[in-house]
Structures are given as C-alpha cells and as structure tokens.
Amino acid sequence: MLACTYVGKGRFALLEKPKPALSDPHDALVRVTLSSICTSDLHILHGSVPRAVPGITVGHEMVGVVEAVGEAVTSVRPGDRVTVNVETFCGECFFCRHGFVNNCTDPDGGWALGCRIDGGQAEYVRVPHADQGLNRIPDTVSDSQALFVGDILATGFWAARISEISDEDTVLILGAGPTGLCTLLCVLLRHPKRVIVCERDPRRRQFVRDHYPEVLVTDPEACREFVLQHSDHGGADRVLEVAGGDDTFRMAWECARPNAIVTVVALYERPQMLPLPEMYGKNLVFKTGGVDGCDCAEILRLIEAGRLDTMPLITHRYPLDRIDEAYYLFENHDDGVIKIAIEPASKEH
C-alpha cells in the first residue's frame, strides 16, 4: 500500500509498505477513506517533535471502514464506518479513568498514531485499543463531515470545555487556522456574550467574517487595544491560544483580564517565556496540554443534529499519490487553503 512516511528531519516520502495486520486482540484494521494534513504533521517534518520515529507512516486525522478486529474488540465490527481518535488509550490506567487519556500510561497511549506508530496518511491503518479509539459514524453523517472529529474538533471541544465559558464572558481566540476555527465552533456552542478572533492572515480573517458574522475579528497589531474596547473588565474573560506563534503566548496573557483563564491549545516549536514578575497581580489561571479526546461520541451527535459543521473548512481535495503537492499547499497557506482532504483509494461514503 502507499503510505506517506517520515524519512527524517525535513523529509516525507510516499513509499510502498506492507498492509498492516492485527497484532493484539484489542486492535482493529481500518481501511482509510479520508485523511487530512495537520499542523502537527508539519512539526514532525520540521524535526520539532522528538517523539516522532523515523520510518513511521504519518497522519492522525482520518476516517474509514473497519476491515478486521481482534477477538477482544466489542464496540465496532467489520463494515462499520468510524472516526479514529488522534489518541490511543487503554481506558484502564489512572489517567484514562480520570478522563486524561492524553496521558495514558500504556506503551501505545497518548498521541501515538502518525508519531510513534504508523498513522493514517495511507490506505490502511492499525488502531490499537480500538474500543476506545474508534467511534461509529451515524448513517446520516458523511465521511467528510466526520473527518475532523478525532483530532481538531476534539481539540476545540476540549479547549472550550476546560475554559469554563459562561454566557457573560468575552472570549478571545488567537488563531483562525483549522484548529482555531474548530475551537471557535465549539466556543459558539456555549453562547458567550462576545467572541473575538485574532488572526494575522487577511484571507482567514475574511473567512471568519464570511462564515461567522456574529464574531468580532482583529489582527495581532491591533489585538490588545481591540480587546480592551470590546470587553467589560479590562480584557478577555477567557483566552484560548491556538496560534502557536512566536509572540502569541505573550499576547494571550496580556489580553486577559485579571483572574481570567488562559487555555493554551497551541503546540509550539520553541520554548515560551513565563515572565512572572510582569504578570504579578493578574492572578491568571493557565490550562495547558494536549487534547484529551474523550468527547468524540458527543461531537458526532452534535454533527448529526446539525449543531457542528466543519464542511466549509475543507477547501481542497487531493489523492494520496499527490500528497506532496497537498503538503506544499498546506504549509505555504496557498490558494486560501484551510484543510485538505486526502483520498487514499476510493471515494467517500
């Protein structure tokens, strides 16, 4: 089968690999029908994810059809259309039992797919702990509608949930890339008083204006003053940092009011400064870390009910054998790209 493979820092290659096989009773083999490219894949390409193993198939955003299951798998069966969670988790360790599945202590726990074990920018993928890592897609939901459930939608949903958003809050979201837009969708579900999106790219600012006209939009240069003008208590009540830029962590806490919650969703390529003397007296609460993808079933219900729609985010489609072109487009933000759907072999359901 064809598989987009991490060869080494700065290099992915489309290689021919053997079709994966079940290796554990809790495994499932999934035929990939759609996958996508994530900014985290670019972090691997740039060599900024030390955990990433050269030789692995990359990709952790995918949907597909179950082809085979191990004898211990009970939640899915061959023929089921499924979303694949970005995280694999055992469901039994301390962290899993408390909902912190990103920190699963199993050897394959946490972000493994497309990082430490073979992922889904391929024709097939083996999914460990399938009972926890796969969710059946409702018949009325297409593969395209479900494509982002296991990663960026789960990230946005988690970020909105832990930010403790109320209907009196002004919420600032830094970044209108794919994860920022999914975070925006999930924040809007909580009906805050006001939502502000800060984005550097003028095309993405216009995308927000066109699709979410109730949302206020600004750029980084004007952000701090804009937030002061459009908030009630000297800054945003909740700040969700999704951009991961060189200056966006500072911008996040500077734009927050005293006693605000700052939720850091971004994956940075460089260390960030926590200048506590400058923050003194703001009494901020920081929440950080990787997504705990426990909400995929709920997200699918919301999509089925018409309350979440990520279809506008899919701006381009490519076959797997042209994935190098798709990566170039995605990394360079060409042609107004937001997200790219990769079609490995067959068309979607």
Cα within 13 Å of Cα(342), Cβ side: 29
d(CA 77, CA 86): 20
Question: E strands along 20-165, which residues?
Answer: 28-36, 62-69, 81-84, 124-127, 134-136
10 secondary structure, DSSP code: T
Residues contacting 228, CB < 8 A, separation 6+: 234, 235
SS3 229: helix
pLDDT at 190: 98
pLDDT tens digits, residue range 48-94? 888 899 999 999 999 999 999 999 999 999 999 999 999 999 999 99
Question: E strands along the chain, which residues?
Answer: 2-8, 11-16, 28-36, 62-69, 81-84, 124-127, 134-136, 170-174, 194-198, 216-218, 236-241, 256-264, 285-288, 314-319, 339-343
**Phi and psi torsions of 38, nearest 5°:** -115, 155
SS3 289: coil
**pLDDT, mean of residues 270-297:** 90
Residue type, 204: R
SS3 145: helix
Apex CA 324: angle with CA 201 and CA 4, to 5°?
120
Looking only at the bridges linking them, the beta strands covering 216-218 and 285-288 are unpaired
**pLDDT, mean of residues 20-48:** 94
pLDDT tens digits, residue range 195-251? 999 999 999 999 999 999 999 999 999 999 999 999 999 999 999 999 999 999 999
Structure tokens at 201: 């790219």
d(CA 344, CA 122): 6
pLDDT at 99: 87
Asked whether residue 141 carries a pLDDT value surpassing 80, the answer given is yes
pLDDT at 349: 37
**pLDDT, mean of residues 7-30:** 95
- Using alpha carbons, select from 86, 90, 78 the residue that is nearest to residue 129: 90
Asked whether residue 132 carries a pLDDT value surpassing 80, the answer given is yes
Asked whether residue 98 carries a pLDDT value surpassing 60, the answer given is yes
Query: DSSP string of 146-175?
Result: HTTTTTHHHHHHHHHHHTT--TT-EEEEE-
Lowest mean pLDDT among 158-162, 170-174, 267-271: 267-271
pLDDT at 48: 84
pLDDT at 324: 95
Mean pLDDT, the chain, rounded, equals 94
Asked whether residue 346 carries a pLDDT value surpassing 80, the answer given is no
- Give me the percent of the chain exceeding a pLDDT of 70: 99
pLDDT at 277: 92
Confidence bin at 345 (pLDDT 50/70/90):
low
pLDDT at 270: 84
Question: 342 has which bridge partners?
Answer: 35, 318
Asked whether residue 344 carries a pLDDT value surpassing 60, the answer given is yes
Residues contacting 12, CB < 8 A, separation 6+: 4, 5, 6, 45, 58, 324, 327
**pLDDT, mean of residues 142-152:** 97
- Using alpha carbons, select from 128, 127, 44 the residue that is nearest to residue 331: 44
pLDDT at 347: 45
Estimate to the nearest angstrom the gap between the alpha carbon of 190 and the chain centroid.
19
pLDDT tens digits, residue range 291-343? 888 899 999 999 999 999 999 999 999 999 999 999 999 999 999 999 999 99
Question: 287 has which bridge partners?
Answer: 263
Estimate to the nearest angstrom the gap between the alpha carbon of 166 and the chain centroid.
23
